[in-house]
Amino acid sequence: MFLEAVEAYRARWIRELERRLHDVRRGRAIDQTFRLPEPEDHTDDYDRVLAMARMSVDDVIELTEHESAST
């Protein structure tokens, strides 16, 4: 899933850069600011939580809001 997010991120950057190049070539105003959140890899976090769930002997695992937010 992370690699798919990285590919989409790169594609979005390319589209934006091409659009801006198009605007510059036509003499339009240059917007020098572009913010796009970079994907973060949380694979290790997910793997850790899944391993913890697999080790549980309980049929149901309940998490508090705090526990859920800290994973």
pLDDT 10s digits, 43-60: 888 888 888 888 887 788
DSSP 19-57: HHHHHHHTTPPP------PPP---HHHHHHHHHHHHH--
Residue 14: which domain range?
2-69
| Domain total of the chain | 1
Give me the percent of the chain exceeding a pLDDT of 70: 94
Q: How confident is the model at residue 70 (pLDDT cuts 50, 70, 90)?
A: low
